[in-house]
Amino acid sequence: MNIKVSCLQMDIAFGDPNSNYQSAEKLIKKAMENHPDIIVLPELWTTGYDLARLDTIADMQARRTIDFLQTAAKKHKVHFVGGSVANQEEKGVKNTLLIISKDGSLRYQYDKLHLFKLMDEHLYLEAGATKGLFQLDGHLFAGVICYDIRFPEWIRAHTSEGAEALFVVAEWPTARLKHWRALLIARAIENQCYVIACNRSGSDPNNQFAGHSLIIDPWGEVLAEAGEHEEIISAEINLELVKEIRKQIPIFEDRKPNSYH
């Protein structure tokens, strides 16, 4: 059975959650014209990288964003890899990826492990400590956030446990667009998995963002790619292909992890 996935490549309003919820609602409605099974949003889509004002604009316990996605999931009967949100907790703000099933239940939260110092994340955010593994419709997937893709050992920690698709949410800048494409294609090939990567478009006071959201198959073939502007891309993924490729070239059986030190 094929699964249709759609990425909402949003142009995020800097530090303006109300505007971003409105934009997301319109894009979700538009995306549903293609009847996806899973909708993916980008990183920090409610606030953008307005990190200096997180004390006033971060989402307390991610509650508003969870409520928004739960309502949309039940209304449209679609799963959400709900991008990430600046999540205000007692001990600080985390960059939290939200997984919402089509019945409206919160299935999983993943807090970004690797904070990107070049964009001052370490000054305003607390790092997570758990993996991004989650299940939807009986399939095991993994979700990571932006800078995480530069750590192949972190991605392999998920696929070695059986994850068949990697969902990446990001605010990746135009200056490193070549890295974005190369790293995502490499992660797909070396992990023999689908990669569904949703980036943002547009700019903020300090950055121009690359867009170019991608859906990549386990052979590294690009099934769909956005341009640089706001756009929705969709493609069907067939998880049977993951199983076939992993049998054909059994890299997970041939690994020698005890020697990798």
- Which residues are known catalytic residues? 43, 112, 146
**CA 254/CA 252 separation, integer angstroms:** 5
Beta strand 222-225 pairing with 231-238? unpaired
Return the exposure string of 49-74: e unless at least 16 CB atoms fall within 10 Å of the residue's CB, then b. Answer: bbbeebeebbbeebeebbebbbebbe
Task: Name the residue type at position 33.
Answer: E
Please check whether residue 9 is in contact with residue 231, taking contact to mean a CB–CB distance below 8 angstroms.
Answer: yes
Q: In what order do the strands lie in the sheet with 165-169?
A: 133-136, 139-145, 165-169, 194-198, 214-216, 222-225
Which residues are within 8 A (CB) of 78 and not within 5 positions of it... i.e. 6 or more apart?
32, 36, 37, 38, 39, 72, 102
Nearest to 241 by CA among 196, 202, 192: 192
**CA 74/CA 72 separation, integer angstroms:** 6
H or E stretch including 48?
Answer: none
